[in-house]
């Protein structure tokens, strides 16, 4: 099963145990559990027909098996590809697609027409198919066999028009699919296929996402609202509500020994930035977050939730706004949204699942557009939140601070402070426009700030939206984007576009190719299309 990030000493996931040499394994095991998904596979279905005789069909099957073997051996795919028998009739196609629907381990189907395959026999199977679909437009041979090519070879290797026949019927039926073109052994094609598999995982896992809300949305805020019924219809999300004092019972029940053990892990893992505060008092504030981390995770685990939402104005019997505790739960793979923002909580969870097994992943988190740097040539947006930025995006040292919080009327909360990595990333905002959902996807370039910010007690990122600050911000506002985003270094614009398409919702991209005139036209066209 995938895990979120590399194992580090002083495990943040080892609860109620003494720190020892087994800490790394314990951390990995607990992290893996929080990110557990099924052992997904993708079916490889080759289309043909019985016109060409048994010898041809034998070669088709052999070629398909070799392609699948090559894909699995490439090291480029995050999931196994399973070769299925060649499909040559309406009955076999329909049965295979329905079997895929009913197989919980099947996350999608890859189709390819080796020979010509009359497309009317695909109609019923496609009509009944409910999972992600990829059309791999390839052929077994990479190069024309110039010296030996004859009509037998031409009839056997007909992907060039067999895939067009198949593509026609999929388009006529209005079925969403991913089309990948090129030789199956090329790294580009394998990378594209692997990328689509992660998108397919996000589609499949969407129907399993359960969000727990403690409290309601912040009063009078528009963008965090949304139609929870429609979200369940469109995305499969269950979005439930609890009184925060239901959580307080779990937090108060945490044994002191477990709290002490987790605090020790905090102190061994992070730099303690006391800033002159009494050390005993500092530790007590940190212990509150440790108690919250254990209690919140126990509540989420026992009630099968994968994302959590809090609100600083609805804290009930909690001593502090969950800060450090939420940051570490996000690092384990839980989604999070602040001020009642269940949409961003669900998106963060999905995006963490989609990136969970990426080697050297740079991280995924909730973010918030906070304040600008508008110096010409140095424009950018400082991203943060009052506490809750996931440390998976951190670069360098991570510290613990205890600082006052002007909102919430509770104790000074402990939080992790750091600066984020540099490089390309995406920021996504799922907004409810009243009649439909829209997913905004902004390509951004993360940078270092010019100077340290020693008085800012939060995790931060600094980025410039593509294509530049002026156009990026203008387009975002035109499209109705929120100030909370689901942010990731490890997913691409294309992957999130494909996810939105598979979910049947509008997506709008802001990147290096964006200009405002065409962007406005796109928004107007989308009003008619969606």
Could you read off the pLDDT of 189-218 as tens digits, one per residue? Answer: 999 999 999 999 999 999 999 999 998 889
Cα 513 to Cα 398: distance, rounded to the nearest angstrom = 36
Query: Tokens 């020892």 appear where?
Result: 20
**Domain chopping of the chain, boundaries:** 41-206, 210-356+364-529
pLDDT at site 51: 87
Cα 470 to Cα 468: distance, rounded to the nearest angstrom = 6
pLDDT at site 27: 47
Could you read off the pLDDT of 267-287 as tens digits, one per residue? Answer: 999 999 999 999 999 999 999
pLDDT at site 36: 61
What's the per-residue H, E or C state across 92-150? HHHHHHHHHHHCCCEEEEEEEECCCCCHHHHHHHHHHCCCCEEEEECCCCCCCCCCCCC
Question: How buried is residue 342: exposed, middle or buried, by Cβ count under 10 Å (0-12/13-18/19+)?
Answer: buried
User: Which residues partner with 402 through β-bridges?
Assistant: 414
Could you read off the pLDDT of 157-179 as tens digits, one per residue? Answer: 999 999 999 999 999 999 999 99
DSSP structural state of residue 363: -
Q: How confident is the model at residue 219 (pLDDT cuts 50, 70, 90)?
A: confident
Could you read off the pLDDT of 242-265 as tens digits, one per residue? Answer: 999 999 999 999 999 999 999 999
Cα 513 to Cα 139: distance, rounded to the nearest angstrom = 32
Cα 96 to Cα 83: distance, rounded to the nearest angstrom = 12
pLDDT at site 310: 96
Q: Give, in order, the Cα–Cα distances in Å from 423 to each of 262, 363, 444, 446, 490.
A: 33, 12, 8, 5, 10
pLDDT at site 34: 54
Residue 26 has pLDDT above 60, yes or no: no
Could you read off the pLDDT of 98-113 as tens digits, one per residue? Answer: 999 999 999 999 999 9
Could you read off the pLDDT of 50-89 as tens digits, one per residue? Answer: 888 899 999 999 999 999 999 999 999 999 999 999 999 9
Q: Are 495 and 472 in contact (CB under 8 A)?
A: no
Share above pLDDT 90 across residues of the chain, in percent, rounded to a whole number: 88
pLDDT at site 20: 39
Q: Is 145 left (phi over 0), alpha (psi -120 to 50) or beta?
A: beta
CA Rg, the chain, in Å?
A: 25
Residue 11 has pLDDT above 50, yes or no: no
Q: Report the chain's mean pLDDT, rounded to a whole number.
A: 92
Strands, E assignment, 193-345 = 210-214, 238-242, 271-272, 307-310, 335-338
Query: Cα-flanking dihedrals φ and ψ of residue 83, to 5°?
Result: -80, 125
Please tell us whether the domain made up of 41-206 is placed in CATH 3.40.50.300. Answer: no
Helix (H) or strand (E) holding 216: none
């Amino acid at each position: 099963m995938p895990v979120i990030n590399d194992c580090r000493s002083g495990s943040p996931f080892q609860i109620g145990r003494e720190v020892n040499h087994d800490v790394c394994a314990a951390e990995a095991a607990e992290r893996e559990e929080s990110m557990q998904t099924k052992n997904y596979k993708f079916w490889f279905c080759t289309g043909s027909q019985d016109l060409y005789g048994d010898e041809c069909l034998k070669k088709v099957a052999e070629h398909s098996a070799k392609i699948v073997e090559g894909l699995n051996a490439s090291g480029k795919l995050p999931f196994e590809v399973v070769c299925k028998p060649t499909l040559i009739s309406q009955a076999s196609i329909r049965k295979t697609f329905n079997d895929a629907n009913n197989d919980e381990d099947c996350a999608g189907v890859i189709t390819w027409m080796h020979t010509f395959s009359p497309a009317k026999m695909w109609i019923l199977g496609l009509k009944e198919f409910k999972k992600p679909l990829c059309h791999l437009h390839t052929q077994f041979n990479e190069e024309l066999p110039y010296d030996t090519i004859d009509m037998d070879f031409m009839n056997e290797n007909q992907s060039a028009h067999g895939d067009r026949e198949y593509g026609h019927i999929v388009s006529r039926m209005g079925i969403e699919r991913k089309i990948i073109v090129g030789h199956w052994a090329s790294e580009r094609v394998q990378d594209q296929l692997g990328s689509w598999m992660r998108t397919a995982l996000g589609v499949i896992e969407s129907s399993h996402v359960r969000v727990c809300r403690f409290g309601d949305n912040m009063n009078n805020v528009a963008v965090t609202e949304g139609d929870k019924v429609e979200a369940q219809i469109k995305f499969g999300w269950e979005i439930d509500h609890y009184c925060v004092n239901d959580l307080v019972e779990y937090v108060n029940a945490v044994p002191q020994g477990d709290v002490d053990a987790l605090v020790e892990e905090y102190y061994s893992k992070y730099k303690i930035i006391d800033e002159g505060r009494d050390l005993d008092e500092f530790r007590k504030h940190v212990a509150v977050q440790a108690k919250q981390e254990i209690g919140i995770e126990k509540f989420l685990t026992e009630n099968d939730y994968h994302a959590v939402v809090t609100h600083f104005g609805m804290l009930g019997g909690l001593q502090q706004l969950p800060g450090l505790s939420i940051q570490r739960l996000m690092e384990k793979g839980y989604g999070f949204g602040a001020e009642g923002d269940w949409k961003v909580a669900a998106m963060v969870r999905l995006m963490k699942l989609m990136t969970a097994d990426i080697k050297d992943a740079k991280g995924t988190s909730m973010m918030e557009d906070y304040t600008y740097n508008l110096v010409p040539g140095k424009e950018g947006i400082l991203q943060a939140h009052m506490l809750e930025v996931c440390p998976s995006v951190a670069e360098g040292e991570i510290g613990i601070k205890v600082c006052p919080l002007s909102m919430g009327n509770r104790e000074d909360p402990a939080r992790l402070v750091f600066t984020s990595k540099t490089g390309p990333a995406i920021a996504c905002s799922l907004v409810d426009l009243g009649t439909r959902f829209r997913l905004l996807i902004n390509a951004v370039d993360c940078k270092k700030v010019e100077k340290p910010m020693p008085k800012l007690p939060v995790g931060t990122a600094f980025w410039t939206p593509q294509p530049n600050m002026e156009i990026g911000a203008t387009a975002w506002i035109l499209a109705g984007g929120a100030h909370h985003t689901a942010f990731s270094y490890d997913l691409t614009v294309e992957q999130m576009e494909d996810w939105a398409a598979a979910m049947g919702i509008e997506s709008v991209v802001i990147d290096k190719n964006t200009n405002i005139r065409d962007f406005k036209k796109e928004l107007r066209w989308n009003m008619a299309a969606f």
